[in-house]
Amino acid sequence: DAKTTQPPSMDCAEGRAANLPCNHSTISGNEYVYWYRQIHSQGPQYIIHGLKNNETNEMASLIITEDRKSSTLILPHATLRDTAVYYCIVSYNTNAGKSTFGDGTTLTVKP
Amino acid sequence: DADVTQTPRNRITKTGKRIMLECSQTKGHDRMYWYRQDPGLGLRLIYYSFDVKDINKGEISDGYSVSRQAQAKFSLSLESAIPNQTALYFCATSDPVTNTGELFFGEGSRLTVL
């Protein structure tokens, strides 16, 4: 599975959009991009995933570049409860559980 | 009730003791996983199972063993605990039928080895 690179930390003002980048330059053609978040020390929570096209759900949007070497998770209106560690993972959908969770990005949403 | 339940949630033990962490799930998923998380770091895969009695080593299996006797249960054992196994342990499941790759995590088991 391809590895990912994320900034260790980011800040965002409450109510503003949070844009979390992820680089995955060695991604293979059929590998998906997955995003999870972990609030405090709770179990990670699935947010969204995509293959090539941009995706949106009730939690976030995922923008994948045309060459698929990077992606951005967008939380459109960040709240204090969005403060968490966000993990970007690249994996085949059949192997997702065997993926490596890197150290992620700690997002701090400030009032 | 949680779909993926881990017990115990917290455990303090001594070096050399045998410890078992239990994971049970009501999601009906065939695939189950055990991860370890050290402070400030990401999750590392210990073992995984794709079906009953199917056992596969992950990235950091040394010092651990697992058992999958039923679809709903996946147990992680530390035969002789040592202090550097102090960590937060997570169980997760995924569904090969839908094959979205989404993982469903338990709330974690915090283990301290003195």
Burial of B70 (0-12, 13-18, 19+ CB in 10 A): exposed
Q: Do B103 and A46 touch (CB under 8 A)?
A: yes
Report residue A1's pLDDT band, with 50, 70 and 90 as the boundaries.
Answer: low
Q: Give the gap in angstroms from C-alpha A89 to the nearest C-alpha of chain B.
A: 11
Contact state of B101 with A87 under an 8 Å Cβ cutoff:
no
Asked whether B38 and B20 are in contact (CB, 8 A), the reply is no
Interface touch A44/B105, C-beta < 8 Å: yes
Q: What is the pLDDT of residue B1?
A: 61
Q: Say yes or no to pLDDT of B100 above 70.
A: yes
Stronger pLDDT, A99 or B42, i.e. the higher one: B42
User: For A26-50, what is each residue's pLDDT tens digit?
Assistant: 998 889 999 999 999 899 999 999 9
Reported as a pLDDT band with limits 50, 70 and 90, residue A78 is very high
Partner-chain residue, chosen from B88, B92, B99, that has the shortest CB–CB distance to A94: B99
Residue A6 with chain B: CB contacts under 8 Å: none
Question: CB neighbours of B73 closer than 8 A, spacing ≥ 6?
Answer: B22, B23, B24, B25
The one-letter amino acid at A53: N
In this prediction, residue B96 carries a pLDDT of: 79
Other residues' Cβ atoms within 10 Å of the Cβ of residue A35: 25
Report the side by side order of strands in the sheet with A45-50. A9-13, A105-110, A84-91, A32-38, A45-50
Q: Which residue from A3, A5, A12, A4 is spatially nearest to A84, judged by alpha carbons? A: A12
